Amino acid sequence: MTMTGPLHQRAFVFGGSEGIGLAVAGRLAAAGTEVVILSRSEAKLGAALAQLGDDALARAVDVTDAEAVQGVVDALVAEVGVPDLVVTTAGYARPGWLEELPAEDVAGMVATNLVGTINVARAVLPHLRRAGGGTIVTTSSMAGLAGVFGYTVYSATKFGVVGFSEALRREVRPYGVRVLVLCPPNTLTPGFDEENRHKPAEVLAAEESVKTLTPDEVAEALMAALGRRRGFLVVPGRDSRLAAVAIRHLPAVVDRALRRP
């Protein structure tokens, strides 16, 4: 009988202390992958480690700080080795009408969602290239495939993640590095609970018919995608996959559906 090991030997999961990141880290750890979770919050990291077990490691870092991210990645590589999988789910959404969004959230979403993703990729890429390959998973959103009213800045950052990931994919392919971009719909995370506190009434009404996934459902879709040889966009959920097809092939229909009433 042939024995097979985990699909990935070692993974760094940024944003891995809660929500989708923690669900991904849990599935990887259960499959035998050496997991390191990274997040800003020491308290959340401690709680996450209690779920993941003694073999997982945690490091505190803010993805908006490029120098800190590089330092933590370099130190981890020296300590545990080069990861063959890097997942970054760190990000947040602050919905609201553009003219009413707090300036700190405009800057914060750009810094965390987009620049933070770039910082992680820049930090890990030299190590993956020297090791001869690996996989980088970025996290966008369904709002990164179609602009959603009430999410102007968030959508801009998530469109940016898709564009960045597409260009990165073409840039690093010669080095044996694979790039996937995860585009989940609304997902029941602590961040989603916070979003709901700020959503305008029209946004809440529009989302009543939208299926909301659990972090485990999103993680399951990502794990399945990692097991396939091909693919770039990872869109969890049947409804979301149908929506992604409509966004590409029926833009006028999607525009009518997503218009602010």
Enzyme catalytic residues: 140, 154, 158
pLDDT per residue over 13-66, tens digit each?
Answer: 999 999 999 999 999 999 999 999 999 999 999 999 999 988 999 999 999 999
pLDDT per residue over 179-210, tens digit each?
Answer: 999 999 999 998 888 888 899 888 888 887 77
Domains and CATH numbers, the chain: 10-258 (3.40.50.720)
* pTM (predicted TM-score): 0.95
pLDDT per residue over 79-97, tens digit each?
Answer: 999 999 999 999 999 999 9
CA-based end-to-end distance of the chain = 61
